[in-house]
A and B are shown apart, each in its own frame.
Chain A
Amino acid sequence: MSSETKQILTTDGIPLEVSLKKAEKKNKIKAFLLVAPLLLFLIITYVFPIGEMFSRSIDDKMITNMLPKTFKEMEKWDGKELPSEDVYKAFYYDFKLLVEKQEHGKLGQRLNKEKNGFNSITKKLFRQVKRNKIDESIGIKEQIMKVHKRWRNVEYWQAIKRTAPPYTLAKYLKGMDMYYGADGSIAQVDEDRRIHRILWLRTLEIAFFVTLFCFLMGYPIAHLLATLPMKYSNLLMICVLLPFWTSLLVRTASWMILLQQQGVVNDFFVMIGLVADDSRPEMMYNKVGTYVAMTQILLPFMVLPLYSVMKTISPSLMRAGKSLGGTPFVAFWKVYFPLTIPGIGAGCLLVFILAIGYYITPALVGGASGTLISNQIAFHMKQTLDWSFASAMGLMLLTGVLVIYWIYNKLVGVDNIKLG
């Protein structure tokens, strides 16, 4: 009993507890130093870019910095009638500064995005300011209003006021086909211009069906892999993995060769008389092409987790199920299938998440009706150079994936995932 309460000392008189902690601390530091490079790498390549993306997607500071005086004066303005002389004056001085720095063009473009027509009237104002036509000693409001009739329109001043906050969610609204209306309320874009919502839905639909097809095809393959004798299963495994060792681009290109209207598959259909030569079906540049190519490319991500789970299921379990009186189907459904759920969960989650952000394959074989949201993101990255919009959509995609992961966790439980 006394040994429980008595402090144990090491030979040099330090309590054992203290010296053990000391030794452990050293080990902990060593372990941390070993993972530190990876941690640093992750922070630099993962946390930092996502943070950067987020700030870019909501950033609206440019205009706030361009018109500091105007926005200060506008704080007093109720926004219903035309603003006072002070606001016009402040705007004039801000604009003059921009003209000196030759940044007035940017202001025009940015305001034009908020409301059409700004570009031309800022250009007009620029010419007046450049030629020093505006007399600073008399009322500036009158002079600016004379430049163009739109400067007399309260809606344009309201538009300027809306750009005052340094942050905006406008890009996110745009990603959902919505925008801030004139009075600051959220409005839907016209029905014939709602392209993003269609793309989101299509992305979900294609990801869902690709996952389903992968599951339907991957499950039997994985089962075969897990039950065949070693020498055959190794060969089959190589067949499953072979696509992994081939460039994604090459694989997609080979699907283009196969699926195009004069392609191998169509030739074969014509040869066996399934379709007439002049009515070859289009299997590419539409959803069909995207489905076929993506399913093939993502199949290994379904097969491997399933295989690793099935490998651990003892064949005697199925036998037990049968010997206890279950038909082969019952034995499969009640015994084997429930045990593969962790693999199904892992495979489906992997394939779905990969599919939802897939880019190259839909870009090459998808055509107009088979492209996904990622293609739209790439379009804004490379063509319109609207990076903040691309960032916003990228983040929406990321959020969507996280939500799916969360739902999945609620339904199945992430602990049940098994990747091998």
Chain B
Amino acid sequence: MSKNPEFVKFDKVDKSYDGKVLVVKDLQLDIAEGEFITMLGPSGSGKTTCLMMLAGFETPTHGEILLDGNIISNIPPHKRGIGMVFQNYALFPHMTVYENLAFPLRVRKVEKSEIDKKVDKALSMVSLNGFESRMPAQLSGGQQQRVAVARALVFDPAVVLMDEPLGALDKNLRESMQYEIKHIHESIGVTVVYVTHDQSEALTMSNRIAVFNDGKVQQLSDPAELYEKPVNSFVAEFIGENNTFNGEVVDIDKDKCKVKLANSEILANPISVKSKGEKTTVSLRPERALINPSDKMDNMFTGKIEEVIYHGDHTRVRLNLLGSSEFILKVPNSTSNLELKVSQDINIGWNSTDARALDPK
């Protein structure tokens, strides 16, 4: 069975609440069947609005949303057959776990024996068998979360929406739930649209990530590409850590350009700069810059250590380099570690392919 690459389609969708400001601008987004896609962005970037439009709680001001080829903009939420996991779980507090899970089946007039079977299956999927008669208030946060996931899946929806479902959990639980949701997705192959502002969550779970800012999708790609090859400085800044240099392109080649900073020049990979004289922001991941590199690298500079912060698995070093005192290095903690001391001078090198010259900030 071939998967439909346009299972969910946002077709030129605009959304405005007050008629003055567009919170979603000309959104064009295709979601493939069985895909786990994450809408990632800062608060107010329009990602939750997109989810609400897909769920049917908001209507697009302009454009259409299609589900499996059918326009659903005018279908009320209860007829869309889309499962949803809410930010605060939204479990019905007056119903037991069983009744919560049975609710979507009962309103669909499923037979009692069939309901029992499906509820049982859904609960075993989130390993909560035996909790049927508990009330939601008697469950821990993580258990409530799992019930909410099970409830969104129990009626076999084509698409499941998750609106920052892990926001209220503590760090360890959040991480284990990330894997759990990912595994559930892999085992049943449902299409998941996930909204979060937590980039590590997005990177670990998704097939593809849509980075939202200012009502627009800034970049839509798989996690590795998003991290390694951000297409603009917002994405570079938002995903992971980032060292930036602002400057002007003085020389440009096919895969190399020379950027003039305040008092020096660096080589960079031209991504969104086309010609000489353009302003640019060069982005470099902290782990791509090495101390005393053994290989030949085309950018070699000397910086002064301003601060050393111990992080357990790695050490962060803040350097004064090329006129900026915000240059961050990540040094893995290994036995062959260098002695790093404040106000020591060290040599730093990186390849120009890793320094991406993007649009100016």
Contact = CB atoms under 8 A, between A and B. Distances in A.
A321 interface: yes
A330 B82 CA distance: 17
Contacts of A339: 93-94
A324 to B, nearest CB: 4
Contacts of A326: 78, 103-104, 107
B76 interface: yes
Interface in B82-98: 82-84, 86-88, 90-94
A109 to B, nearest CB: 62
Interface in A121-147: none
B55 A317 contact: no
A338 interface: yes
Contacts of A328: 76, 78
Contacts of B104: 324-326
A15 B152 CA distance: 58
Contact of A319 (B83, B86, B108, B152): B86
Contacts of A330: 78, 107
B90 A320 contact: yes
A314 B168 CA distance: 15
B92 A320 contact: yes
B78 A320 contact: no
Among B79, B87, B103, the most chain A Cβ lie within 10 Å of the Cβ of B103
Given A314-B88, A316-B90, A319-B90, A324 B155 contact: yes
Contact of B151 (A314, A324, A327): A324
B78 A327 contact: yes
A322 interface: yes
Nearest to A331: B78
A322 B77 contact: yes
Interface string B102-123: 0110011000000000000000
Interface in A151-210: none
B286 interface: no
B78 A317 contact: no
Nearest to A318: B90
A317 B81 contact: no
B179 interface: no
Contacts of B93: 339
A317 B94 CA distance: 11
A323 interface: yes
Contacts of B107: 324-327, 330, 334
Nearest to B94: A338
Given A326-B78, A326-B103, A331-B78, A317 B83 contact: no
Contacts, number: 69
Nearest to B55: A323
Interface in A84-132: none
Main secondary structure of the interface of B (DSSP, over half): loop
Most interface-central of A321, A323, A330 (chain B CB within 10 A): A323
B57 interface: yes
A92 to B, nearest CB: 76
B90 A322 contact: no
Nearest to B87: A316
Interface in A303-346: 314, 316-317, 319-328, 330-331, 334-335, 338-339
Contacts of B90: 314, 316-317, 319-320
Nearest to B161: A323
A29 to B, nearest CB: 37
A320 B100 CA distance: 11
Contacts of A321: 92, 103
A335 B107 CA distance: 12
A324 B103 contact: yes
Contacts of B91: 320
A339 B91 CA distance: 12
Contact of B92 (A317, A322, A325): A317
Contacts of B80: 323
Contact of A334 (B76, B82, B103): B103
A322 B91 CA distance: 13
Interface in A216-258: none
Contact of A322 (B76, B94, B161): B76
A320 B77 contact: no
Nearest to A317: B90
A325 B88 contact: no
Contacts of A316: 86-88, 90
B155 A325 contact: yes
Nearest to B108: A325
A44 to B, nearest CB: 42
A335 B84 contact: no
Given A314-B88, A330-B107, A325 B57 contact: no
Nearest to A320: B90
A335 B78 contact: no
A280 to B, nearest CB: 48
A320 B94 contact: no
B86 A320 contact: yes
A323 B84 contact: yes
A327 B84 CA distance: 15
Interface string B16-43: 0000000000000000000000000000
Contacts of A338: 94
22 contacts: A314-B88, A314-B90, A316-B90, A317-B90, A319-B86, A319-B90, A320-B84, A320-B86, A320-B90, A320-B91, A321-B92, A321-B103, A322-B77, A323-B80, A324-B83, A324-B103, A325-B104, A325-B107, A326-B103, A327-B78, A335-B92, A338-B94
Nearest 3 interchain pairs by C-beta: A324-B104, A320-B90, A316-B90
Given A322-B56, A325-B104, A338-B94, 19 more contacts: A314-B88, A317-B92, A319-B55, A319-B86, A319-B90, A320-B86, A320-B91, A321-B92, A323-B83, A324-B151, A324-B155, A325-B81, A326-B104, A327-B78, A327-B107, A328-B76, A330-B107, A334-B103, A339-B94
